Amino acid sequence: MPHRMTQQTFYLRADISTALERYAQDHALTVDFVVNESLRAYLAEHHKRDHIELPTPLGPRIEQTAPHEAITDQPPLYIWYNDTCDVIQKPRYVIGRSAELCDLVIDFNGISRQHCAVRYEDGEYVIVDLKSTNGIEFQNDKILRRHINEGDSFFLCELKITFSYRQ
């Protein structure tokens, strides 16, 4: 019987998130798979199969930030797609076809469920391909990762997205 999955929202330190994403990319896995398998292995080793109890957290309780709130002091980045504008104010902003997994949903057959992500790393925004089928194009070249400059436009299939640091 397959296990029931539930979507959870939680925050990771930026360095841990980056490490998970790089590990997953290096091993052709999804971050979800890496997290789930790591926790499953830990629980199988440390707890009885029929009675799973998570260990008591160490240290003070950390208050969670609401999912829509920014958790860093990063400057806003504006993304324009199809005559609409959205503001990016979080460390990882996912673009793709899946309404459950993405911040910007593009309902187009050539777009992957999780096509690409805009990340805020080391004080700058970058766009990163998430192993999409059709990739990202910048100035007619396929790219896997690129720093985002003011006014940069990228193509996901033939669909144009443009970024600005000014509204």
Residue type, 64: Q
Lowest mean pLDDT among 1-5, 28-32, 114-118: 1-5
Categorize the per-residue pLDDT at 6 as very low, low, confident or very high, splitting at 50, 70 and 90.
low
What domain range includes position 45?
Answer: 1-64
Same domain, 50 and 118: no
Total of domains in the chain: 2
- Give the three-state DSSP class for 41: helix
pLDDT at site 65: 38
pLDDT at site 60: 37
Q: Is the dihedral of CA 146, 152, 156, 161 positive or negative?
A: positive
Same domain, 24 and 92: no
Domain boundary among 18, 39, 64: 64
Query: Please, is 144 exposed, middle or buried when counting C-beta atoms within 10 Å of its C-beta (0-12, 13-18, 19+)?
Result: middle
Phi, psi of 67 (to 5 degrees): -55, -30
Average pLDDT on 19-26 reads 77
Asked if residue 69 belongs to a domain, the reply is no
Interacting residues of 125 by C-beta distance below 8 A, sequence separation 6+: 77, 88, 118, 119, 147, 148, 163
Same domain, 87 and 160: yes
Domain boundary among 64, 85, 105: 64
Residues of the chain with pLDDT > 70: what percent? 75
Residue 82's nearest CA partner among 114, 110, 106 is: 106
When the pLDDT of each residue in the chain is averaged and rounded to a whole number, the result is 80
Average pLDDT on 1-14 reads 65
Query: Please, is 30 exposed, middle or buried when counting C-beta atoms within 10 Å of its C-beta (0-12, 13-18, 19+)?
Result: middle
The DSSP letter of residue 83 is: T
CA–CA gap between residue 106 and residue 93 (Å, rounded)? 13
Categorize the per-residue pLDDT at 46 as very low, low, confident or very high, splitting at 50, 70 and 90.
low
Interacting residues of 131 by C-beta distance below 8 A, sequence separation 6+: 25, 28, 112
Give 95-153 pLDDT, tens digit per residue: 999 988 999 999 999 999 999 999 999 889 999 999 999 999 999 999 999 999 999 99
Residue 41: pLDDT over 90: no
